[in-house]
Structure 1
Amino acid sequence: MSQASIQSEIEGLKETLTLEREYLLAGRARETLALTEAKLSAMNSLETAFGSFDLGSVPHVYRADMAEVVMMAKENAVHFEAIQNGLRRAIERVGSQHANAYVGSYTQTGGKVAFTEVTGHFLKKA
């Protein structure tokens, strides 16, 4: 692989990571999935060109660029994790609404019947 094509792959990967960051900051996690193929293709091309991503196998000319790519990828991973945590919290909140809800009925000891424990076998008042 020539130096020009290696540099082109690195620049393309940087552009993809920049676009991914914009999507993540905008909360558009679904759109980031469309970028996966481009990222994997660029990484495979660069790994083929360098032999591996070990620091010693990357030529000095490209080390700064590859360090920037790694930094961008780590930042994007943090943003993606924040989105995952937000979604997880939203799901937990929706699930806990039922756990904290009561049906308006009481047990024999006077305690409220939680919505999650409703079985549908209530007696009507006479």
Structure 2
Amino acid sequence: MRNIRNSELSDRRSTAADAKAALLRAYRAAKEAAEPTREAKQAERLAIAEAREARRAEREQLKLDEQNRIEAETAERDAADAAAAKAETDARELADKNRIARVLEDEAARKAERDRRYANRKARQG
């Protein structure tokens, strides 16, 4: 049923103000009651964020370690390849020098044989 009471403007205004004040008191009471749980939740969120950051830093460190390991392996492989190439070049140069030395020795032996034959021929003629 309707409230047929005749209320004045001032009554309505004071009722509205009382209602607003009651709502504000209820809000403040609820906020104070939730303060311990809010702090606990905030601390929990902070701990989760720190753990997340620690895991991220660990992942980055693992990536960095892996990258450094790969770079070290690549450097070792390149050094081994360079050493093998140098050894091959040195061996080829040594083989070339040996071949040249044999050619010179053979040439000298041929010349010596030719000179000996020439001297024998001259000795027989003379």
TM range (shorter): 0.3 to 0.5
The TM-score with structure 1 as length reference comes to 0.36
**Which is richer in helix?**
2
Relative contact order, CA 8 A, sep 6+: which one is greater?
Answer: 1
With normalisation by structure 2, the TM-score equals 0.36
Computing the radius of gyration from Cα coordinates, the structure with the larger value is: 2
